[in-house]
Amino acid sequence: MKYVFEPPGLTSIPVANSAQEFPVHRVYCVGKNYAEHVREMGLDPKRDPPCFFMKPADAIVTTGQIPYPPGTSNYHYEAELVIAIGKQGSNILAEDVMSYIYGYAVGFDMTRRDLQISSGKLGYPWETGKGFDYSAPVSSVYPLSDVGRIDSGRIALTVNGEPRQDSDISDMIWKNHEIISELSRLYILQPGDLIFTGTPAGVGAVVPGDKLVASIEKLGEVAIEIVEPL
């Protein structure tokens, strides 16, 4: 095959305690999935229907230096549990989801909050607020076989050492098995898909120089630093 230019490389994430990499296919996200966070956004927590959106696969980054993005003056962090899918499936029953999970990661759903809110008010898509370059920093992927099922456990985030988010995975409105089942009714899930499962309360703005640490019980910590725009 002769391409008109060199094809871009595949995005992949290191697998913890392994020389292997997890190749990324698609990045799905769930919005409004912790009641206290929905309230802090000025909305009523509702269970129906789940709020799904996507980020481009190459928004995933595994390095700790994250450039401040263009086009915003209100750049927010959101610490989230990320599910890594390891098997193709559609119309998956909630009771069958475990065999589709390869593992988990700690992720940041970085958000241009001003653009997310203004596009929402206009009835426009969320892409400019959510799906931009470097908007999805993640930790290594931890295989399910190593860490076990994660349906509860502390999720927390600090900025420059100050606690900002501190909640529990069990506080999700839509649970992991329901998220996978619902998403698989809308899309054919593929090995390599990632699902960001939503953030708890305590989101806020960051600027260059800020150091963020997100942690999830059983998965450990991941640190990033916001640096000057490219």
User: Contact residues for Mn ion (CB under 5 A)?
Assistant: 78, 109, 199
Give the list of residues 6+ apart from residue 30 with CB closer than 8 angstroms, or none.
Answer: 50, 51, 52, 174, 179, 195, 196, 197, 198
The CB-of-196 to Mn ion minimum distance in angstroms stands at 6
Considering beta carbons, is residue 78 or 193 the nearer one to Mn ion? 78
CA distances from 177 to 83, 92, 95, 107 (A): 10, 9, 7, 18
46, 207 in Cβ contact below 8 A?
no
Instruction: State which residue, 15 or 111, has the beta carbon closest to Mn ion.
Output: 111
| Complex with Mn ion: residue 192 or 198, whichever CB lies closer | 198
Residue nearest to Mn ion (CB): 109
**Least gap, CB of 113 to Mn ion (angstroms):** 11
**Separation between Cα atoms, residue 176 and residue 92, nearest integer Å:** 12
> Residue 214 contacts by C-beta under 8 Å, 6 or more apart in sequence?
77, 79, 106, 107, 108, 139, 155, 156, 157, 165, 221, 222
Residue 73: closest CA among 116, 113, 41: 113
Which amino acid does the sequence have at 85? I
CB of 91 to Mn ion, least distance (A): 25
Of residues 165 and 199, the one with the C-beta less far from Mn ion: 199
Cβ at position 2, least distance to Mn ion in Å: 40
Rounded CA-CA distance 104/84 in Å is 5
Letter string b/e over residues 104-133, b meaning 16 or more CB atoms within 10 A of that residue's CB: bbbbbbbbbbbbbeebeeeeeebebbbbbe
The CB-of-179 to Mn ion minimum distance in angstroms stands at 12
Q: How far is the CB of 137 from Mn ion (least distance, A)?
A: 13
Of residues 120 and 209, the one with the C-beta less far from Mn ion: 120
Task: Return the number of the residue (109 or 193) whose C-beta is nearest Mn ion.
Answer: 109
User: 199 vs 215, which CB is nearer to Mn ion?
Assistant: 199
Query: Smallest distance from the beta carbon of 80 to Mn ion, in angstroms?
Result: 6
